């Protein structure tokens, strides 16, 4: 509570208006529904629920809101999770007031803000799961990637056959090969795999992994 009041004082002293201070995740969600903020500063250590889940729900309510995590933790894994969730920043509670104000101003301007001491490490860091996903995706042929992109779009086998100018039997063969190579059991799982690991098909049916 005292920390929140100190943050409020620092922001207002520097001309940054604060609509509301919420002490729980439920209060923060309700505030976002009533008046979506330009920026939401979310503590990871909320009393009623995870700050990560609160930030994610605020983004669902208001996708244009910049969510910045405020925490006592200086943890690379937490920073990576924040980036994957689409938040605009991660700031630790030991940040000097002047630097803290700069962080908020930068986030409001659309920049992603991270602690300097972790930014360089996190920028090049990849999880074992991401590496594994890349290896599995790397087994797919260009045609299988085309078929997978159409699975993500929700096309039926016949629609894929028409669009790719191949027979329905050939489509089924490609789909089965995709399931085997990605180690999944259904078309839905294959599409979910592609979405979850941010394998985005371009208009030319190429692929890129945006990573995190």
CATH number of the domain bearing residue 134: 1.10.10.10
Task: Say what the pLDDT of residue 210 is.
Answer: 34
Do 43 and 70 have their domain in common? yes
Q: pLDDT, tens digit, for every residue of 133-178?
A: 778 888 888 899 899 989 888 888 999 999 999 999 999 999 999 9
Q: How many domains does the chain have?
A: 2
For the entire predicted model, the pTM comes to 0.56
Model pLDDT, residue 163 = 93
* 80 touches 106 (CB < 8 A): no
If asked whether residues 161 and 185 sit together in one domain, one would say yes
Q: Is 8 left (phi over 0), alpha (psi -120 to 50) or beta?
A: alpha
Residues 116 and 13 in one domain: yes
Among 80, 97, 123, identify where a domain stops.
123
Last residue of a domain, one of 123, 138, 164: 123
Q: Are residues 103 and 159 in the same domain?
A: no
**44 and 112 part of one domain:** yes
Return the pLDDT at 138: 82
Quick one: 112 and 150 in the same domain? Answer: no
Do 112 and 135 share a domain, yes or no?
A: no
Q: Tell whether 140 and 190 lie within a shared domain.
A: yes
Q: Which residues contact 26 (CB under 8 A, 6 or more apart)?
A: 48, 49
Pair 103, 26 in one domain = yes
Contacts of 9 (CB under 8 A, 6+ apart): none
d(CA 182, CA 89): 33
The list of the chain residues with pLDDT below 70 reads: 1-3, 117-131, 197-212
Q: What range does the domain containing 165 cover?
A: 128-209
Do both 77 and 174 map to the same domain? Answer: no
Instruction: Say yes or no: 99 and 184 in one domain.
Output: no
Residues present in the chain in total: 212
pLDDT at 41: 93
Same domain? 6 vs 30: yes
| Domain harbouring 98, CATH code | 3.40.50.2300
């Amino acid at each position: 509570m005292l920390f929140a009041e100190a943050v409020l004082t620092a922001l207002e002293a520097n001309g940054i208006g604060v609509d509301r201070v919420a002490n729980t995740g439920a209060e923060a969600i309700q505030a976002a529904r009533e008046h979506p903020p330009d920026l939401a500063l979310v503590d990871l250590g909320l009393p009623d629920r995870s700050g990560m889940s609160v930030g994610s729900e605020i983004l669902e309510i208001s996708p244009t809101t910049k969510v910045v995590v405020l925490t006592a933790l200086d943890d690379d894994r937490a920073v990576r999770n924040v980036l994957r969730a689409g938040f605009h920043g991660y700031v630790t509670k030991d940040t000097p007031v002047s630097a803290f104000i700069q962080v908020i101003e930068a986030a409001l301007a659309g920049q992603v803000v991270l602690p300097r001491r972790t930014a360089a490490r996190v920028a090049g860091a990849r999880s074992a799961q991401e590496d594994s996903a890349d290896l599995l995706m790397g087994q797919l042929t260009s045609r299988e990637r085309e078929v997978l992109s159409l699975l993500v779009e929700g096309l039926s086998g016949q629609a894929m056959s028409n669009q790719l100018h191949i027979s329905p039997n050939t489509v089924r063969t490609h789909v089965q090969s995709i399931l085997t190579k990605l180690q999944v059991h259904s078309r839905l799982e294959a599409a979910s795999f592609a979405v979850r690991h941010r394998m985005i098909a371009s208009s030319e049916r190429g692929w890129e992994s945006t990573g995190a």
